[in-house]
Structures are given as C-alpha cells and as structure tokens.
C-alpha cells in the first residue's frame, strides 16, 4: 500500500504484503510547501513501520532470510535445475536482497534456457521467506519440417532461420525465425510470400518439431506503374509518393533494390489517400492496386482513383458543451466557414477546443471532429462533439522518480496549485520547465480523478540522467598552438551529502600547452532564493604567447545575475574585474608593443538569443549576443572605457556528419575620463 506523507518526509522502505515485497517511493507535495491530506491512523502505523526499517539497497530487511529457493516450470521444455541454481547470487540462509533478486532474474534469462523468468517472495516463517522462480523453459528442436517449400533446401532454411535440431526454441524465437525466412523470400522477388509456423511436441519430453507452412506464390519485378482517374495530381507526382515503382537503376537487380512486398502497397495507399485529403478531397476513394503478371517475371501495378469533390466548410456546430453557447466555443478555434476542409484543419480545431476545456477545469475533456457533406454541393457541415467530463480542482501534486534531485528543485518549477481549477496549460508549462533542466532525461505529467468528488491529483514523474561529465582532448590553433584540454562539469551539485541534488551547476576546465595556458572555474545557482533569477560567478586565468612577439596574461572574475525572457531569450547584469598584462616582448617585435599591466573594473548588461538544438556541439540553430560594459575607477579598476560587442553564430548540418558554422562579430571600445586611449592589452 503506497504511503502518502506530509511535505517534511521522503520515505524509502520495504513493506510486507502477503505474497511479495513491493518497494514504494511516494512523495506528495502541495504548492510551495503546503501540507498534503492528513495521514489516517493506518497510514501513520505504516509510516512508523517503514521508518524503523533500513534504507533501500541494504541487505537486511526485517532480518528476514531465505529459507529455500524453488523453481516452477510452466513451459514445455526442460532444463538443468542444478546449473540454474549455481548462477544465482541469492543463496538459502542469506538475507533477502531485492537488488540480487533482480540481478538473478537477468542472469537466468542470459542462460538461454528460458523464454520468461519471474520471482515471487512469500513468507515461510517469522524470520524467513521462500524465493519462488516461475520459468518458461524453451524446448529443444527435434526436427524442422517444411510444407510447401519448393525453392530452398531444408539445410538453407535452417541456416536462414538459425533453427535446427538440438537448438532451444521459444515462441519469440520461432516468430522471429519465420520473419527472417519471409524476408529471405522477398529479397528474391517472392512478393506475395506467406509463412505460418507452429510447434508440435514429440514423444520425447522437452522436444518439439518446428513446422513451417509456406505459400511461395510467384516471383515478380515491377516494370510498369499506372494510374487512372487522377486529375489533381499528375502521374509523375503520384509516382514520387509511392514506394513500389519500377526501379530504373541498372544496378538495382544486382543489389536487389527492386524487390517489394504487398504490405508496402498498403503504405502507398495511405500516402495517395492522405495527399488527396490534404488538398480538400475528403471523400476520395483509392482502392488497393491490381497486380498484373505481364511476363514471366514482370508485374504491372495499376492504381484506380475516384477523386470526388473538393470540400469547403459551410457551418460549424457544437454538441455536448456544458452550458456554453456556440458563439463562445467558436472563439477558441481557428477553423472558420469557407475554409478548406482537411484532416489537419479538423484535428486542429478539435485540439484547440479540447485544450481550452482542459484549461478551465475539465482535465478529461475530449473533443471529436466530424463532418458531413451537403448533398449536391462541395460544402460540408462540421460537428465538434464535446465530452467534457467533470470539472475538477487540484487536490494533490505528486512527484516521483527523483532519487537524487531534491524535491524543492522540482517543486519550484511547478505552477500547478492545490485548490485551483485544473489548468492543462499550467501543467504543460511546468513539464516543459522540468524538461529543460539538465538533470532529467524525461518528464511525464499525469492527471487522475481523486476519490473525492470534483477533485483530481497530478503526478510529475521524472526520469533522471547522469549530470556529471568529464571531457578531455587536444586543441590546436594558428595563434595559440596546440594544447591538452580537459573539462569537468556537474549540473546537479549540492553542498550537503551526497553532494548532489540541489541543482547547482559547477564547471572546472583548462588547457595546457607550450604557448597556451588556460583555466576556468564557474558556479551557477539557476534559481537564486527560488526566484526566477540566476546568480553565477566565474574565475578565469589565461596566458598566451602570440607568434613569438609577445605574451599576454589575464586574471579575472565575473559576478552575474539575470533571468530568462521566455524559452529562447535571456538578459543579465554583471560586474567583472580583470587584470591584463602584456610581457616578454621580443626585441625585434613592432614598437607598438609595450610591457603594460592594467586593471579593469566594470559593470555591464548582456542580451542573448539562442535557438541552438543543443548546448554542446550544436548541429542546427542560431546564437546571437550583444554585450555592453562601462569601466570606471570607482569599480575597482584604473581604466575608464565603454565597450560594446556583438556576436552571432549560425549552425547548419547538410548531412554526412558535417556541420557548417558561420560566425560574425563586431566590437567597439571607447576611452573616456582620465583614460586617453584604449590600453594595449584591450586592443590585442
């Protein structure tokens, strides 16, 4: 029985049931720390029992030990039980360990004896349990029998199916073997091949015959493709839509690229019918084509089409609306009279109205779009049938799956509030925010009606991913030379043990080479005090020797705060301090180079627009950034300058594992006050 607790607790435990031991991990939260439904007396007792047990993953639950391990075979095959017992990690007399039990199931499956394996834990005494394994043993093949095969020998069929005397065979393996043989026939132009299989036990226990019933049909290659009744699309346009057509490639026969099978014609049927309906021919009739033998091995595919009328919307009606007039419903859909009638237009209208109902408290609302032609015209009546369900308020918001990430990290991204009418837009927006966090692989939002009238519960189920990353490599540049590079990142750091789960992001990186040394340490709190603002700090060190003329070293720190402006935009304010030094100037270098050290303290603002498909190594998208800063003596530096910088990058993948990156940038630096000219380190 799952246990629902107040927001102060998160329980992981081992609960006893009459037949097995399920693990439960259940946390219920209200909005921003509000308490959930009070615990009943049975729940309190269950909670105390769970709290008295050890945590999941340890080996001593209730001090229960394994009394015996038993096997039950529900299959027709036989197996060596002694060998099966030897590979188990669990042993009689040892403590119950759910992790080992799960591993044992995988180990038994890997033996190859069994089609399926499951285990059940049941009480043996007050201090011990039985582990019962229910297995489906695969039988051994006595003989492979073919019925109707005239093309291939039995030996070749056994080679293709990988089924033969003495081999074990399960139902999935038998079906897969028949599928492999069917594909083998199809590759040799038997387009209408049909194969049925069955398994019959022999007189010897644990042995079966594998029987293949084969209807080979006739071989054939498509040499002609015809269409009739088509006016909206030309023959050439229709040929581009279908997959079964004459292959003019001279190497097609050698590579067998001109082979086909009848199931492909069903896909072609849907492609032709869908193309017409997208053009407004909603009543188009397309029959499966005729396959005509026009030679010993040549086929003609003939399609017959009745296009029908080209429909537009005449009227829109609504049925099932709970007290809402048609004029109110029409405001929420984009479909209007005189619009072209297409499946996409109907689906969009139904989706728009359904989304609106689900945003005003009807979490289970369904809308079905139907249409009916007006006789003797090219017009149609559209009917949107609404099944609203009951109107519900949110009772509980539940999160699950976050074994590492703290509850607060998830809850602060959720806009759904207890006591308010259900709003699907809030739930989907909350899910989208969680999906953008780096610690989750997948996020699902589920809504279910509660036991109490007119209330529902929402569950956000997350699947966590590894957030630590180690990168190493070699870089090379025309000015900076070669260097060894590394980078360590963690996107879900915490300052409390086990030092993960709070959502903080930290990165440490560096490059080292004969002409290039670089180090960088950054920390970011993405939700400062649970607000929409982030705070980050960065420390940098960089030392580069440029073309043997001079070297430049810079040490700096940046403190930044900002927030997202929607999904793709971000604005920030920052303070930065830098010390830049030009040194080790070659005597033969230009006289423009002088050894100089400057300090810059500045405040600035930055705006970024980012639609790249991924943060690291993007393949498609655009990045744009504009940055302005003002340096002053009062900000901890001795340099007074104003600076503006614009940068943009365009990423595009033409395929073949290549990426095109176009970059553009511009920068302006102007001195003011006591600074008469731009210092040399800022110009280099």
User: Are 570 and 672 members of one domain?
Assistant: yes
Could you tell me which residues come within 8 angstroms of residue 655 by beta carbon, excluding any fewer than 6 positions away? none
Our count of domains for the chain comes to: 5
> Of 190, 215, 240, which marks where a domain is finished?
215
DSSP, residue by residue, 527-558 = SGGGSSEEEEEEEEEEEEEETTTEEEEEEEEE
Please state the length of the chain: 684
Q: Are 643 and 601 in contact (CB under 8 A)?
A: no
Residue 548 lies in a domain: no
- The upper half-sphere exposure of residue 66, i.e. CA atoms within 13 Å in the direction of its Cβ, equals 21
Residue 641 lies in a domain: yes
DSSP, residue by residue, 477-509 = ETTTEEEEEEEEEEEEE-SSTTSBSS-EEEEEE
CATH of the domain at 167: 3.10.20.310
For residue 251, the enclosing domain spans 221-306
User: Are 129 and 180 members of one domain?
Assistant: no
pLDDT per residue as tens digits for the range 156-210: 999 999 999 999 999 999 999 999 999 999 888 898 899 999 999 999 999 999 9
User: Are 172 and 84 members of one domain?
Assistant: no
Residue 116 lies in a domain: yes
Query: Residue 672 belongs to what H/E stretch?
Result: none
> Of 306, 340, 364, which marks where a domain is finished?
306
Could you tell me which residues come within 8 angstroms of residue 389 by beta carbon, excluding any fewer than 6 positions away? 362, 363, 364, 365, 366
For residues 569 and 564, give the distance between their C-alpha atoms in angstroms, rounded to a whole number: 6
Residue 597 lies in a domain: yes
- Between 235 and 254, whose confidence is greater? 235
User: Are 154 and 127 members of one domain?
Assistant: no
Q: Beta strand 481-493 with 504-513: parallel, antiparallel or unpaired?
A: antiparallel
Residue 338 lies in a domain: yes
Given 3-state DSSP classes, what are the helix, strand and coil percentages for the chain, each rounded to the nearest 5?
Answer: 20, 40, 40
User: Are 112 and 172 members of one domain?
Assistant: no
As a whole number, the mean pLDDT across the chain is 86
With b meaning 16 or more CB within 10 Å and e meaning fewer, what string describes 570-609?
Answer: bebebbbbbebbbeebeeeeeeeeeeeebbbbbebebebe
Residue 323 lies in a domain: yes
pLDDT given at position 162? 94
* 3-state class (DSSP) for residue 407: helix
Q: Of 641, 625, 626, whose CA–CA distance to 580 is shortest?
A: 641
Q: Of 363, 419, 356, whose CA–CA distance to 389 is shortest?
A: 363
For residues 492 and 499, give the distance between their C-alpha atoms in angstroms, rounded to a whole number: 9
User: Are 151 and 199 members of one domain?
Assistant: yes
User: Are 153 and 206 members of one domain?
Assistant: yes
pLDDT given at position 21? 33
User: Are 91 and 151 members of one domain?
Assistant: no
For residues 185 and 205, give the distance between their C-alpha atoms in angstroms, rounded to a whole number: 33
Residue 470 lies in a domain: no
Q: Report, as an integer, the average pLDDT of 50-74.
A: 62
**What confidence category does residue 258 fall into, taking pLDDT thresholds of 50, 70 and 90?**
low
> Of 86, 120, 137, which marks where a domain is finished?
137
User: Are 160 and 111 members of one domain?
Assistant: no
User: Are 575 and 673 members of one domain?
Assistant: yes
User: Are 332 and 274 members of one domain?
Assistant: no
Q: Is residue 2 scored above 70 in pLDDT?
A: no
CA distances from 668 to 169, 443, 571, 625 (A): 74, 44, 20, 14
pLDDT per residue as tens digits for the range 129-144: 999 999 999 999 999 9
Q: Are 682 and 645 in contact (CB under 8 A)?
A: no
User: Are 590 and 671 members of one domain?
Assistant: yes
Residue 321 lies in a domain: yes
């Amino acid at each position: 029985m799952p246990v629902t607790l107040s927001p102060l607790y998160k329980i992981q435990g081992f609960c006893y049931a009459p037949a097995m031991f399920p693990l439960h991990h259940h946390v219920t939260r209200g909005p921003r720390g509000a308490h959930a439904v009070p615990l009943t007396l049975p729940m309190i007792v269950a909670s105390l029992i769970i709290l008295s047990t050890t945590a999941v993953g340890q080996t001593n639950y209730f001090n229960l030990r394994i009394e015996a391990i038993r096997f039950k075979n529900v299959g027709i095959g036989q197996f060596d039980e002694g060998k099966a017992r030897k590979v188990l990690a669990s042993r009689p007399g040892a403590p119950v360990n759910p992790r080992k039990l799960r591993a044992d199931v995988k180990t038994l499956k890997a033996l190859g004896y069994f089609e399926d394996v499951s285990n059940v834990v049941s009480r043996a005494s007050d201090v011990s349990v039985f582990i019962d394994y229910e297995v489906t043993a695969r039988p051994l093949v006595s003989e492979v029998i073919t019925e109707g095969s005239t093309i291939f020998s039995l030996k070749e069929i056994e080679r293709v199916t990988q089924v033969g005397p003495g081999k074990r065979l399960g139902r999935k393996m038998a079906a897969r073997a028949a599928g492999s043989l069917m594909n083998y026939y199809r590759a040799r132009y038997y387009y209408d091949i049909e194969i049925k299989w069955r398994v019959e036990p022999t007189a010897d226990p644990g042995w079966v015959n594998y029987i293949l019933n084969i209807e080979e049909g006739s071989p054939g290659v498509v040499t002609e493709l015809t269409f009739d009744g088509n006016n909206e699309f030309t023959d050439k346009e229709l040929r581009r839509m279908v997959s079964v057509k004459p292959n003019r490639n001279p190497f097609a026969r050698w590579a067998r690229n001109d082979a086909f099978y009848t199931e492909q014609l069903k896909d072609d049927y849907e492609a032709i019918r869908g193309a017409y309906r997208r053009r407004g021919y909603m009543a188009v009739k397309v029959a499966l084509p005729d396959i005509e033998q026009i030679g010993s091995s040549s086929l003609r595919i003939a399609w017959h089409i009745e296009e029908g009328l080209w429909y537009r919307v005449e009227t829109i009606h609504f049925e099932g609306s709970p007290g809402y007039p048609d004029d109110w419903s029409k405001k929420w859909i984009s479909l209007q009279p005189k619009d072209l009638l297409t499946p996409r237009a109907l689906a969009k209208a139904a989706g728009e109205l359904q989304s609106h109902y689900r945003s005003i408290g009807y979490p289970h609302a369904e809308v079905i779009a139907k249409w009916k032609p007006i006789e003797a015209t090219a017009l149609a009546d559209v009917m949107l049938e609404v099944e609203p369900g009951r109107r519900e308020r949110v009772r509980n918001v539940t999160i699950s799956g976050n074994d590492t990430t703290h509850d607060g990290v998830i809850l602060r991204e959720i806009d759904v509030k207890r006591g308010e009418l259900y709003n699907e837009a809030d739930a989907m927006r909350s899910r989208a925010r969680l999906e953008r966090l780096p610690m989750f692989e997948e996020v699902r939002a589920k809504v279910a009606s509660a036991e109490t009238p007119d209330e529902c519960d929402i569950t956000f189920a997350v699947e966590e991913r590894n957030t630590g990353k180690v990168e190493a490599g070699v870089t090379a540049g025309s000015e900076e030379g070669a260097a060894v590079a590394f980078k360590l990142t963690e996107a879900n750091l915490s300052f409390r043990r086990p030092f993960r789960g709070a959502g903080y992001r930290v990165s440490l990186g560096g490059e080292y080479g004969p002409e290039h040394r670089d180090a960088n340490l950054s920390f970011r709190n993405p939700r400062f005090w649970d607000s929409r603002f982030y705070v980050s700090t960065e420390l940098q060190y960089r030392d580069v020797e440029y073309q043997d003329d001079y070297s430049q070293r810079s040490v700096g720190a940046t403190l930044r705060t900002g927030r997202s402006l929607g999904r793709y935009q971000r604005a920030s304010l920052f303070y930065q301090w830098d010390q830049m030094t030009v040194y080790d100037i070659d005597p033969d270098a230009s006289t423009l180079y002088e050894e100089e050290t400057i300090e810059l303290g500045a405040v600035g603002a930055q705006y970024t627009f980012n639609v790249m498909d991924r943060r690291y190594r993007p393949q498609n998208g655009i990045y744009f950034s504009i940055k302005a800063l003002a340096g002053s003596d009062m900000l901890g530096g001795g340099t007074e300058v104003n600076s503006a910088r614009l940068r943009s990058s365009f990423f595009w993948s033409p395929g073949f594992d290549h990426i095109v990156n176009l970059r553009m940038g511009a920068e302006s630096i102007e001195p003011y006050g006591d600074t008469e000219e731009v210092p040399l380190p800022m110009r280099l």
